[in-house]
């Protein structure tokens, strides 16, 4: 049996919840965990420091850390701290987030998100890989270097990607592209070629795709669909996602609701064997790694245990 090369998304909650779930995942043999970041809740990047100190093997990833609220020097210092506690076990996913959050909640003008992300990634990579960044752009002016006593950790920096330009940027400058509720055919037909184009332009090898896959440990199709709707209610209403769904040929409804066809392009469900077969099929389409979210249908604890065991196989 070949490895799925899959990581488990830890659901947001209290810092204690996240730490306990990371420890539990390692005990169950899960190799990589991921968490989303952002908003006025317990900060997962901070909580990861505690999780790092209490674990030995599990890799910790953010999918993703929003760029606008956190200066790249600040995020670099947090990444260095986590890497100090868990050398080689931190993967930093970053992304711009969405206008309703950044402008509506934080009150920060987004301007041109793609340009902002390019500048942010350039600065962050300079600090974490080269130990210094001297940069002047539209959004940032930075002149910073690590102390001589601190070696650049060279930890992986991945970029959130939904549409072609973001995949190209990921291919050009990052260590991987992270998708979220993105139809597999869109990743394969649009994302991977754009990722390759960006890598070719920079004269480097194409970095991997880490594809998000929601999984319901259930054989009840209708119940799984309803659970998915409840867990991912907002995405069809977000402009970036709505545009991506439309570009993928699977637009949401006019009032921003999921269609069954769109859900079925994203959600994996069934028996453990059926789920594994479907995940293997996704990997076989040129996707190097999976980032799996649990879609709770009936019993969270038992379904999480089964899903964790499947990922750990």
- In degrees and rounded to multiples of 5, residue 267 shows phi and psi of -90, 135
Q: Does the pLDDT value for residue 300 go beyond 70?
A: yes
Q: What is the mean pLDDT of residues 263-267?
A: 98
What six digits make up the tokens of 194? 């754009």
Contact yes or no for 21/51 (Cβ under 8 A)? no
Q: Does the pLDDT value for residue 248 go beyond 70?
A: yes
pLDDT at 88: 97
Q: Which of 162, 153, 126, 166 is nearest to 142 (CA)?
A: 126
Q: What is the mean pLDDT of residues 102-107?
A: 95
Q: Does the pLDDT value for residue 1 go beyond 80?
A: no
Q: Does the pLDDT value for residue 2 go beyond 90?
A: no
Q: Does the pLDDT value for residue 209 go beyond 80?
A: yes
Q: Does the pLDDT value for residue 241 go beyond 80?
A: yes
Q: What is the mean pLDDT of residues 26-51?
A: 96
Tell me the CA distances in angstroms from 178 to 28, 64, 137, 151, 278, one per residue in order: 24, 8, 25, 27, 19
Tell me the CA distances in angstroms from 220 to 69, 177, 224, 241, one per residue in order: 40, 32, 6, 27
What six digits make up the tokens of 193? 């070629």
Question: CA torsion, points 175, 173, 250, 265, in degrees to nearest 10?
Answer: -10
Q: Which of 283, 64, 235, 284 is nearest to 161 (CA)?
A: 64
Three-state helix/strand/coil letters over the chain: CCCCCEEEECCCCCHHHHHHHHHHHHHCCCCEEEECCCCCCCCHHHHHHHHHHHCCCCEEEEEEEECCCCCHHHHHHHHHHHHHHCCCCEEEEEECCCHHHHCCCCCCCCCCHHHHHHHHHHHHHHHHHHCEEEEECCCCEEEEECCCCCCCCCCCEEEECCCHHHHHHHHHHCCCEECCCCCHHHHHHHHHHHHHHHHHHHCCCCCCEEEEEEEECCCCHHHHHHHHHHHCCCHHHCHHHHHHHHHCCCCCCCCCCCCHHHHHHHCEECCHHHHHHHHHHHHCCCCCEEEEEECCCCCHHHHHHHHHHHHHC
Contact yes or no for 140/120 (Cβ under 8 A)? yes
- CATH topology for the 6-312 domain: TIM Barrel (3.20.20)
State the chain's mean pLDDT as an integer: 97
The full set of domain ranges for the chain reads 6-312
Rounded to whole angstroms, the Cα distance separating 156 from 195 reads 16
The answer for residues whose C-beta is within 8 angstroms of residue 117's C-beta and 6 or more apart is 67, 94, 95, 96, 159, 166, 169
What six digits make up the tokens of 73? 């020097």
Q: How confident is the model at residue 291 (pLDDT cuts 50, 70, 90)?
A: very high
Q: Does the pLDDT value for residue 313 go beyond 90?
A: no
Contact yes or no for 98/181 (Cβ under 8 A)? no
Contact yes or no for 176/212 (Cβ under 8 A)? no
43-91, pLDDT tens digit by residue?
A: 999 999 999 999 999 999 999 999 999 999 999 999 999 999 999 999 9
Contact yes or no for 25/311 (Cβ under 8 A)? no
């Amino acid at each position: 049996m070949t490895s799925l090369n899959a990581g488990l998304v830890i659901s947001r909650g209290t810092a204690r919840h996240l730490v306990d779930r990371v420890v539990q995942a390692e005990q169950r043999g899960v190799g990589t965990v991921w968490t989303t970041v952002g908003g006025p809740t317990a900060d997962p990047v901070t909580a990861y420091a505690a999780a790092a100190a209490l674990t030995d093997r599990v890799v910790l990833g953010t999918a993703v850390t929003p760029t606008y609220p956190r200066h790249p020097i600040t995020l670099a210092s947090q990444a260095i701290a986590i890497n100090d506690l868990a050398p080689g076990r931190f993967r930093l996913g970053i992304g711009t987030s969405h206008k309703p959050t950044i402008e509506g909640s934080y009150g920060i003008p987004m301007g041109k998100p793609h340009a902002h992300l390019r500048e942010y990634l350039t600065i962050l990579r300079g600090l974490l890989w080269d130990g210094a960044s001297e940069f002047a752009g539209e959004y940032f002016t930075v002149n910073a270097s690590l102390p001589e006593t601190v070696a650049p950790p060279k930890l992986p920096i991945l970029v959130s990607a939904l549409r072609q330009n973001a995949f190209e940027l990921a291919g050009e400058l990052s260590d991987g592209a992270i998708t979220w509720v993105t139809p597999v055919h869109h990743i394969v037909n649009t994302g991977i070629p754009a990722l390759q184009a960006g890598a070719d332009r920079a004269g480097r090898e194409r970095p991997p795709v880490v594809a998000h896959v929601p999984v319901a440990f259930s054989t009840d199709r209708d119940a799984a669909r309803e659970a998915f709707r409840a867990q991912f209610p907002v995405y069809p209403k977000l402009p970036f996602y709505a545009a991506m769904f439309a570009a993928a040929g699977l637009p949401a409804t006019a009032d921003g609701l999921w269609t069954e066809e769109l859900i079925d392009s994203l959600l994996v469900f069934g028996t453990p064997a059926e789920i594994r077969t479907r995940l293997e099929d996704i990997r076989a389409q040129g996707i190097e790694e999976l980032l799996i979210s649990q879609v709770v249908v009936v019993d969270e604890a038992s379904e999480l245990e089964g899903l964790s065991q499947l990922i750990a196989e």
